[in-house]
Amino acid sequence: MDLATRVWNHTWKIDPIVRSLIDTDFYKLLMCQSVFRNRPDVNVTFQLINRSHNVRLAELIDEGELREQLDHVRSLSLTRGESTWMRGNTFYGKRQMFSPEFMEWFEALRLPPYHLEKKDGQFELTFEGAWPEVMLWEIPALAIIMELRSRAVLKDMGKFELQILYARAMTRVWEKGQRLRRIEGLRLADFGTRRRHGYLWQDWCVQAMIEALGDKFVGTSNCLIAKKRDLEAIGTNAHELPMVYAALAESDEELLQAPYTVLEEWQEEHEGNLRVILPDTYGTKTFLDRAPDWLAAWTGIRIDSGDPVENTEHAIRWWQAHGQDPREKLIVFSDGLDVPEIEALHARFAGRVRLTYGWGTLLTNDFSGLVEGDALAPFSLVCKAVEADGRPTVKLSDNPEKAMGPKDQVERYKRLFGVGEQVGRAVRV
């Protein structure tokens, strides 16, 4: 028996879910640096949004436990080893991705306060303050709620039931890997931090993919796991940038320009595979139709909502119309993927365009059908910027089920961006 380890474990008042500030997605750190440089003084509010109303989180999860976990995150600061990794590592082939000014700020950072209330069986969890600080709450907040939900379901199970549960879940992940390894030319990354079953489970899934996929597994969005397992940290940018930029616009014209302004600034900072467009915030089609020419020279497009086949075909046509060879371009799929979707997309697009898959919830949290009442089935939880300097943010996306913002603002954005009828798609995860 390893007595020291046992005693060490016993001395924890809680079993912390997030134990490191870099237990987060790489794109959060990239975006944070960008915001720190370009918009450090914007005041934002991030809010937890459970799109699966039937999962009554506040009835499953003890408020006190949630507070303890959130408080623990507020006690974290960047460790020396983490700082060394961020300063010294090569990301996307580039040294010193993070500037000394940003690193100094990040080393001194503690996450700002949170606001938590219960309402109608759900938690109202919000974070308000300076954008570069508040934005870092998104991933740990989601990971904490997801793992507390897992723990709540598992806590009444016996030792052997748990062993079999994990035996089955491991077998499932492994069999997915065995199917995926047969896909020629596959390039796949773990994007599953935010909705993972738990940290240790995500780490296991990543190791299983390394073993099953070899070079076809190109990395993980999770910085802590990338550091620990010597993997590439993967990610570029997300909806919060155009959403906040758009909310801050002083005129309709500036609003229409906002998604491109974001990318203009991004282009000053990043090159190569980091130049990936996320075009769906206010509709992929109109975004590409109005895009300035220089955007077509970017490396790739990430498809995060809507019909991935339609959107990819549209992107290919757009590149061709701008005299670009799609075979040199990259499509990053990241919306609700599982093995059948990956197989189908690959069968359709391999050879026509370069492909990468950001595999999330159904890699790191596929426990559906494994416990009674399917109480571990995946559900759709997000944590989004809802306000910037007192103005509401809006997201339309290519799926109206994923839209967010006040109704009148949503209508205004739809009108301005010329988004017509959209087809709703069920949001699984």
Which residues contact a copy of itself by CB under 8 A?
Answer: 1-2, 5, 158-160, 163-164, 166-168, 170-171, 174, 207-208, 211-212
Inter-residue long-range contacts of 306-313, CB under 8 Å, 24+ positions, other chains counted: 306/280, 306/335, 306/397, 306/398, 306/399, 306/422, 306/423, 306/425, 307/398, 307/423, 307/425, 308/333, 308/335, 308/341, 308/345, 309/345, 309/348, 311/280, 311/284, 311/398, 312/345, 312/348, 312/349, 312/353
Tell me how far apart the alpha carbons of residues 404 and 383 are, in angstroms, rounded to a whole number: 12
Tell me how far apart the alpha carbons of residues 108 and 342 are, in angstroms, rounded to a whole number: 41
Tell me how far apart the alpha carbons of residues 274 and 264 are, in angstroms, rounded to a whole number: 13
Question: CB of 278 within 8 A of CB of 302?
Answer: yes
Closest approach of Cβ 211 to a copy of itself, in Å?
4
User: For a copy of itself, which is the closer residue by CB, 168 or 348?
Assistant: 168
User: For a copy of itself, which is the closer residue by CB, 205 or 263?
Assistant: 205
Q: Please, how many CA atoms are within 13 Å of residue 311, restricted to the half-sphere of its CB?
A: 28
User: For a copy of itself, which is the closer residue by CB, 206 or 345?
Assistant: 206
Closest approach of Cβ 178 to a copy of itself, in Å?
9
User: For a copy of itself, which is the closer residue by CB, 169 or 381?
Assistant: 169
Closest CA to 20 of 129, 149, 103, 111: 111
* Beta-bridge partner residues of 258: none
User: For a copy of itself, which is the closer residue by CB, 164 or 344?
Assistant: 164
Closest approach of Cβ 197 to a copy of itself, in Å?
16
Show Cβ contacts of residue 347 under 8 Å, excluding neighbours closer than 6 positions: none
User: For a copy of itself, which is the closer residue by CB, 141 or 169?
Assistant: 169
Closest approach of Cβ 146 to a copy of itself, in Å?
23
User: For a copy of itself, which is the closer residue by CB, 96 or 163?
Assistant: 163
Closest approach of Cβ 152 to a copy of itself, in Å?
22
Tokens coding 27 = 């794109």
Tell me how far apart the alpha carbons of residues 427 and 21 are, in angstroms, rounded to a whole number: 29
User: For a copy of itself, which is the closer residue by CB, 92 or 174?
Assistant: 174
User: For a copy of itself, which is the closer residue by CB, 73 or 212?
Assistant: 212
Closest CA to 32 of 20, 17, 44: 44
Inter-residue long-range contacts of 87-96, CB under 8 Å, 24+ positions, other chains counted: 89/227, 89/233, 91/26, 91/232, 91/233, 92/232, 92/272, 92/273, 92/274, 93/272, 93/273, 94/271, 94/272
User: For a copy of itself, which is the closer residue by CB, 213 or 410?
Assistant: 213
Closest approach of Cβ 187 to a copy of itself, in Å?
20
The amino acid sitting at 367 is F
Question: CB of 174 within 8 A of CB of 207?
Answer: no
Closest approach of Cβ 363 to a copy of itself, in Å?
15
Closest approach of Cβ 212 to a copy of itself, in Å?
7
Closest approach of Cβ 160 to a copy of itself, in Å?
4
Tokens 């995860």 -> residue: 429
Closest approach of Cβ 154 to a copy of itself, in Å?
16
User: For a copy of itself, which is the closer residue by CB, 33 or 220?
Assistant: 220
